[in-house]
Amino acid sequence: MHKILYVTQILYLMYLILTQTVLACHESKDLVLLAYTGKSEEVLSIIETGAELNQLTGDLTPLIAAVKKRRYHLVKLLLENKAKVDIKNDEGLTALMYAAQLNDTAIVQLLLLFGADPFLTNNNGTSAIDIAKITRNKKIINTLVNSRDRNEIDPYRN
């Protein structure tokens, strides 16, 4: 019985801490952290106030954070609100490279729809296509390789 009570108290404390963190993020307009935690309504609210969608915090932009947490709805929301799709972090990684690494076909396709360039390379000279080859995901490899022509005429390209 004591263990259940203890676990309940710990969970409640974790809930309080997370709630306070999210509120603090909202107040400070930390779009990266809100995207990372998946708070769609808060992200949209901050976007509507004119927040910087392409800020680089550490190695994350809001878009990269949403991709890393595989939050398709937030990736789409950010792209629809003109987040730049090909911003590189300090290591030269783009959102598309992370999506390829995570084997997330749906996010790869979404990023390509909004004009992501599969031929950009990171600081080590590795592209999203190279990353997909390492993960051996044939569907993503083919999607990336065949996207070049579509990207050249894509109206969503940033």
Give me the CATH code for the 2-152 domain, please.
1.25.40.20
This prediction's pTM: 0.74
pLDDT of residue 7: 62
pLDDT of residue 21: 47
**CB-CB contact of 82 with 158 (8 Å):** yes
Give 120's contacts (C-beta < 8 A, 6+ positions apart).
86, 88, 94, 96, 97, 127, 128
The structural domains of the chain, with segments of one domain joined by +, span 2-152
Q: Distance of CA 75 to CAs 14, 24, 34, 151, Å?
A: 27, 22, 12, 18
Q: What is the mean pLDDT of each run of 10 residues along the chain (158 residues)?
A: 66 61 48 76 80 84 93 93 93 96 95 95 94 91 79 46
pLDDT of residue 1: 62
pLDDT of residue 158: 45
SS (H, E, C) 64-102: HHHHHCCCHHHHHHHHHCCCCCCCCCCCCCCHHHHHHHC
